[in-house]
Amino acid sequence: MTKNGESLGYVKYRYSNYDTDIFGETHGNEQYTHTTAGGGSSPLAIYTSMSTERGKLMSEEYYDATNKLIRKTNIKYKRTPETPMKTAYQQEVTFNHDPYNVMISQVGWLANTLTCSYLKTFAKDTTYSEISNLSFNTESHYTYNAAKLPAQELTYTSKGNARTISYKYSSDDKTMYNRLDNMHILSAIVEKKTKEMNSVETETYDYSFTGNGIPYISKITTSWNNSAAKRTDYQVNVVNAYGKPTEIVRNGMTSALFWGFNGQKLLAKIDNCTLAKAEEVLGDERHYSSCMDCSQIPFDNFSYRHDLNNSLSHLYMYNADMRLVAEIFPNGLSQLYKYDTMGRLREKYYYETLDDEPWDLKHVLNRYDYYYKK
């Protein structure tokens, strides 16, 4: 939305639900397969839940201020071939013919419990030209490894260009990454390789462990084709007790990070500043990260961040449910977040200070509406 409250456009999201989706498929629960209760249905009966099919993003549609569609993305999924598991349920039933004639019996049901997954296999992105009826398409195809992790993403454009992104994980080389394997961590990415035209770019991820055995990404490097030259894009210098980086170097810039809620949420990112320098002004990082209750986190200390010369601070504030309620950017501007009673994001907004008025003027940046079919 503009400063005057006028819409710049909107994005419409469609998800799979109980009803028919955009591809004509339905995702309602299925009735039990066998029962000893006779014919008909019963509110006591178990069923095959199709909840894994529901809630999948099926499409995104982008509209401008005149309600004209300018971009659309359609997504398809597939069910993995695992066989359903038979699940049994039994209910005791009491029949009273009279106070002295009681019969107790049991009825039971069998239903399929899905053990499969639903994985994204295809996405088509269409952008419509503003000056003609032309459209430009990008199609992406996704494949997965035996652990159901993304193995390859193959993308084609309308011009015939192709790009392939492939992934390797710690589970692909259990000898080199046996410590991660022993911790049953399969999804730690160790290599991302992008091939486009005649160029190959490889990102390599290195892992280290904290003193109490928590793994974390310690370095990310990039290399090209068969060259031995490498560029370090990301490196961790210091971590806290929760395995979260507290001093990093990204693209040549050193940043200090402060965490909260036992290391679960980022509170502050201070660029062009070491952790030692930040702690001299703001206090020890562990005093922040060890707090689980937001009321115990010393947010007021961040008011001294201006004493960190030549640094830029980005702050994040949360409520008791650990939902982000405010961001304070390096330029001092704030962006606020509003949620409904179900915890869903409803608004992103900010306030403008008026010189000639005793109140601040609210400006809504984004508004989110939710619709459910009956």
As a whole number of angstroms, the distance between CA 140 and CA 153 comes to: 7
Q: pLDDT band for position 228 (50/70/90)?
A: confident
pLDDT in tens, 21-37: 888 889 998 888 888 87
What is residue 374's predicted lDDT score, i.e. its pLDDT?
62
pLDDT in tens, 39-67: 666 777 788 888 889 999 999 999 999 99
Q: What is the pTM of this model?
A: 0.84
- Provide Rg for the chain, Cα atoms: 27
Helices (H), the chain: 178-182, 275-282, 286-289
pLDDT in tens, 193-227: 999 988 999 999 999 999 999 999 999 999 999 88
Residue 250 confidence (pLDDT) above 90: yes
pLDDT in tens, 69-121: 999 999 999 999 899 999 988 887 776 767 777 667 778 889 999 999 999 99
Q: Within 10 Å of residue 161's Cβ, how many Cβ atoms?
A: 11
Among 287, 352, 341, 301, CA closest to 319: 341
Structural domains of the chain in order of their starting residue, each with its CATH number: 129-239 (2.40.128)
pLDDT in tens, 159-196: 788 999 999 999 998 888 899 989 999 899 999 999 99
Are 317 and 334 a contacting pair, CB within 8 Å?
no
SS3 breakdown of the chain: % helix, strand, coil, rounded to 5?
A: 10, 50, 40
Are 351 and 363 a contacting pair, CB within 8 Å?
yes
Q: Within 10 Å of residue 174's Cβ, how many Cβ atoms?
A: 12
Which pairs with CB-CB distance under 8 Å and at least 24 residues apart come from 274-279?
Answer: 274/247, 275/237, 275/238, 275/246, 275/247, 277/308, 278/308, 278/311
Q: Which two tokens stand for residue 51?
A: 């909840």
